[in-house]
Amino acid sequence: MNVLQYIILQRKMHWSPKITNFKIESLKSSAVEDKLVFHPCEVSFNIDGVPSSVPNALRRTILSELPVWAFKPVHGDLETDDKHIIYDMVMRRFANLPIEQRDGEPIEFYASNTSPLIVDVKSDVRDAKTSKPVCNPNLTMFTLVPNTFLRIRLPRVLDYGYSFAGHTLASCAYSRVPEGILRGSVSTSAITSWEFGFTTNGNMEPHKIIELACDEIIRRVKSVAGARHDIHVAHVLTVPGESHTIGFLMQQFLNAISGVTATYQVSNVAREVTITVHTADFERCIADVIKHIVEIFESIKMLIAM
């Protein structure tokens, strides 16, 4: 190992996050939007002192791996006499609505058209008990032809937004400083400065979104310690229900340890991550990496809250 490799290794072994230039900008731009329930905002900050797997984990978790409350109707929940209504489309549009992030009784949404013209039906969905809107009421959900109605029951579920329930809390991206977009598949750990940003739907405070994302990553990383462990030519960990988020984190942090080589594979069919580790001190390496990752995301939570 030459001097430069040794210096890079030492930097890897002492990753510590720093948050700077934290900004929140409201996207409210007109008097009409004053009537909205949720006001989207843009969030941006710099995160330094961490490898690419850390902002990548935040991005993936905020975008599609964070449980959120959403409507989830099924075919039996929808009734209409408008023959032009496409059931799946209407149910998907309601599932995509950003709503209040809390549990609640199912809501019955009813619309009718007694006019001689086709009408647009907006997303004015209200709580059955309080009559308060639970989402922004200005979105067109479907159209009704004259003299027809549509009734739909809207149960709320806590599910993973992008893949299942429909909507998420934010859209999200990160980029290398000072250069352009660095894709999540890039495994370099020598670069440790990042610009991170996301645009919220307005139904949760930005600080809370980051806090929940960190907590979710910490929970999932800790679960690696209890994963099935097999020994073949190398040590193999099989983590059920996991994705590239945890695989990339574990690989990059394990490879930062001298004498350790780690790779991972994701099975979309079995929905699991397989982490292969070549080392003579497997138990210590896994424990150290999990501890270090948890410390980093706990630090990010604390720094964002300041």
Please report the sign of the dihedral spanned by the C-alpha atoms of residue 160, residue 187, residue 236, residue 214.
negative
Distances (CA, A) of 177 to 20, 53, 193, 240: 13, 15, 6, 34
pLDDT value of residue 173? 74
Q: Three-class SS of residue 31? A: coil
Backbone angles phi, psi at 108, to 5 degrees: -100, 120
Task: With beta carbons less than 8 A apart as the criterion, state whether 62 and 214 touch.
Answer: no
pLDDT value of residue 176? 66
pLDDT value of residue 111? 98
Q: Give the integer Cα–Cα distance in Å for 61 and 160.
A: 10
Please report the sign of the dihedral spanned by the C-alpha atoms of residue 97, residue 98, residue 104, residue 109.
negative
Backbone angles phi, psi at 106, to 5 degrees: -55, 145
Domain-wise residue ranges, the chain? 16-66+168-305, 70-100+107-162
> What is the reported pTM?
0.84
Class of domain 70-100+107-162: mainly beta
Give residue 35's Cα distance to chain centre: 27
pLDDT value of residue 164? 47
- Tens of each residue's pLDDT in the chain, 306 residues: 343 443 444 445 579 999 999 999 988 765 555 567 888 899 999 999 999 999 999 999 998 898 889 999 999 999 999 999 999 999 999 998 999 999 999 999 999 999 999 999 999 999 988 899 999 998 999 999 999 999 999 999 988 765 444 567 887 777 766 544 333 334 455 678 899 999 998 889 999 999 999 999 999 999 999 999 999 889 999 999 999 999 999 999 999 887 899 999 999 888 899 999 999 899 999 999 999 999 999 999 999 998
Q: Count the residues in the chain.
A: 306
